[in-house]
């Protein structure tokens, strides 16, 4: 296998939170074929693994991690379908049904959302402006249905996937998947690349929309500190940030981690925060919101590595379902 494999990797370099210890085994596939081969080789040894994009919604443990990681950030090709050899190879079976090649955009899973939007502007294609300001990779945005992007692109989106158990590659239209808030069923496999059918759009107008949305985001969010975005999901018909704010969480601090004074659903790393600092703050926030308002917050971030199991169990428990009153 030609995939780059490294050991002793500093996990702070793979997380937007800049938190984590070291990883014993990390694979960096450079394209869809390498991703498939990487999964196949790992699974042949009977080993599990964890998939990492740009690390924008992950909390790595400060203790070392033995579980192999597959990092897709090197899979970042993005451009018009007919200009990229890999695109024609992966999506040849659906290209005719997809329509005019000039309106087809090929994006590998590790491409940052910011780059994808910029490429659309350069090519005069739209409209992915719903992802303006969404951190992380395009593959992560599809898997998490960020800003309902799967629903927006539902009939104009094809997904190239790798089976998590066998490494087998397949291509499916988005309509073969199910989706809901913060979820697309492509999570059950591994998304390697996507093909989008877009429409011609005025580049200057798209640029104006993106600029306006980024400026609004910069005014509201603590972008000057490392974070993983919102740490809790919004409960039905409510706002996790508002609940945490009313519960007095802004500027609550443990070690190097702190609930932001600008947005209460952001925990920022203000100086050598550990994973334990973040988990302690999340437990505090969840418990305080429950005691004050009877709403049970659920984690938005994923935990990778070694943590206090009782804390994680509490964070993932729906207290409203367990309330006997």
Q: Among this protein's residues, is 197 annotated catalytic? A: no
Q: Among this protein's residues, is 182 annotated catalytic? A: yes
* Together in a domain, 40 and 100: no
Q: How far apart are CA 196 and CA 142, in angstroms?
A: 12
Alpha-helical runs (H) found in the chain: 32-44, 85-90, 95-98, 113-123, 138-143, 149-153, 203-220, 240-246, 275-293, 309-316, 319-322
* Together in a domain, 137 and 198: yes
Count of domains in the chain?
A: 3
* Together in a domain, 57 and 135: no
Considering 5, 43, 164, 182, which one is annotated as catalytic?
Answer: 182
Instruction: Identify the three-state secondary structure at position 83.
Output: helix
Domain of residue 63: give its range. 4-71
Q: Which of the 8 DSSP states describes residue 192?
A: E
* Together in a domain, 56 and 105: no
- For 56-66, the pLDDT digits (tens) are 999 999 999 99
pTM, full prediction: 0.91
Question: pLDDT value at position 151?
Answer: 85
For every residue of 137-174, DSSP letters joined together read BHHHHHHTTGGGHHHHHGGGEEEEEE-TTT--EEEEEG
* Together in a domain, 89 and 199: yes
* Together in a domain, 53 and 139: no
28 in any annotated domain: yes
Name the domain boundary from 35, 54, 71: 71
* Together in a domain, 181 and 83: yes
* Together in a domain, 17 and 51: yes
213 in any annotated domain: no
232 in any annotated domain: no
* Together in a domain, 120 and 204: yes
C-alpha distance from residue 35 to each of 52, 58, 150 (Å): 12, 20, 23
Q: pLDDT tens digits, the chain, 325 residues: what are they? A: 567 889 999 999 999 999 999 999 999 999 999 999 999 999 998 899 999 999 999 999 999 999 999 999 999 999 999 999 999 989 999 988 888 888 999 999 999 999 999 999 999 999 899 999 898 999 999 999 998 898 888 889 999 999 999 999 999 999 999 998 889 999 999 999 999 999 999 999 999 999 999 999 888 899 899 999 999 999 999 999 999 999 999 999 999 999 999 999 999 999 999 999 999 999 999 999 999 999 999 999 999 999 999 999 999 999 998 775 4
Q: How far apart are CA 41 and CA 117, in angstroms?
A: 34
* Together in a domain, 115 and 134: yes
């Amino acid at each position: 296998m030609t995939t780059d494999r490294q050991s002793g990797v500093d996990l702070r370099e793979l997380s937007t939170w800049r938190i984590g210890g070291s990883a014993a085994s990390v694979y960096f596939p450079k394209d869809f074929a390498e991703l498939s081969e990487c999964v196949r080789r790992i699974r042949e040894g009977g080993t599990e693994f964890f998939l990492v994009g740009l690390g924008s919604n992950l909390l790595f443990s400060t203790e070392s991690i033995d579980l192999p990681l597959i990092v897709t950030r090197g899979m970042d090709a993005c451009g018009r379908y007919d200009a990229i050899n890999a695109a024609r190879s992966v999506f040849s079976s659906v290209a005719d049904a997809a329509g005019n090649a000039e309106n087809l955009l090929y994006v590998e899973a590790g491409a940052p959302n910011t780059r994808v939007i910029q490429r659309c502007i350069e090519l005069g294609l739209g409209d992915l402006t719903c992802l303006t300001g969404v951190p992380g990779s395009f593959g992560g945005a599809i898997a998490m249905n960020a800003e309902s992007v799967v629903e927006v692109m539902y009939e104009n989106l094809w997904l190239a996937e790798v089976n998590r158990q066998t490494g087998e590659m397949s291509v499916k239209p988005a309509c073969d998947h199910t989706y809901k808030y913060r979820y697309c069923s492509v999570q059950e496999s591994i998304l390697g690349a996507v093909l989008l059918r877009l429409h011609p759009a005025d580049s200057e107008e798209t640029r104006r929309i993106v600029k306006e949305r980024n400026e609004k985001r910069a005014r509201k969010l603590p972008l000057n500190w490392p974070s993983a975005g919102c740490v809790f999901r919004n409960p039905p018909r409510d706002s996790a940030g508002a609940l945490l704010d009313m519960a007095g969480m802004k500027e609550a601090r443990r070690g190097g981690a702190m609930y932001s004074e600008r947005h209460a659903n952001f925990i920022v790393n203000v100086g050598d925060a550990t994973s334990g600092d973040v988990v302690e703050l999340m437990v505090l926030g969840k418990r305080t919101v429950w005691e004050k308002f009877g709403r049970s917050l659920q984690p938005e971030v994923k935990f990778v590595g070694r943590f206090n199991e009782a804390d994680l169990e509490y964070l993932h428990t729906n207290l409203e379902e367990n309330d006997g009153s």
